[in-house]
Amino acid sequence: MNCRKITIFGAALFAVWVAAAPSPAFAQTSFQNYRCADGTQFIVGFFQYDSRAHLQLDGKSVTLAKRLALSGSRYTGSGVTLKITKARATTLKHAKRPVTACELT
């Protein structure tokens, strides 16, 4: 009977630990805020096991697929192109507007 109480207590303690621990997806997520030269502001999220970029732009969510780039990263989708060079220079093209330079805020 004593062994059963220890097992129940151990299971309850494990459940509390799991509930209190931050989720792995949350711990390995990166969100970055950008402001562009043309006044555009956006937030981009990157997730460890997802090669896409997830933007909040003009009040809408846009998911951009990673594309081939010679230097750095390029993401496109839904008429939006986001480029981030290895030197962290960032440009955005969207809504038939010209390409604009963006910086982290």
Q: Under a CB-based contact definition with an 8 Å cutoff, are residues 80 and 57 in contact? A: yes
The residue type found at 63 is: T
For residue 3 the two structure tokens come to 């062994």
| pLDDT classification of 1: cutoffs 50, 70, 90 | very low
- Mapped onto helix, strand or coil, the DSSP state of residue 42 is strand
- Predicted pLDDT at 5: 42
pTM of the entire predicted model = 0.73
DSSP conformational letter for 22: P
Residue 17 has pLDDT above 70, yes or no: no
Q: How far apart are CA 73 and CA 19, in angstroms?
A: 36
- What CATH architecture does domain 27-104 belong to? Beta Barrel (2.40)
Q: Under a CB-based contact definition with an 8 Å cutoff, are residues 39 and 51 in contact? A: no
Residue 13 has pLDDT above 70, yes or no: no
Neighbours of 57 (CB within 10 A): 20
Q: Under a CB-based contact definition with an 8 Å cutoff, are residues 11 and 67 in contact? A: no
pLDDT tens-digit profile of 84-105? 999 999 999 998 999 999 999 9
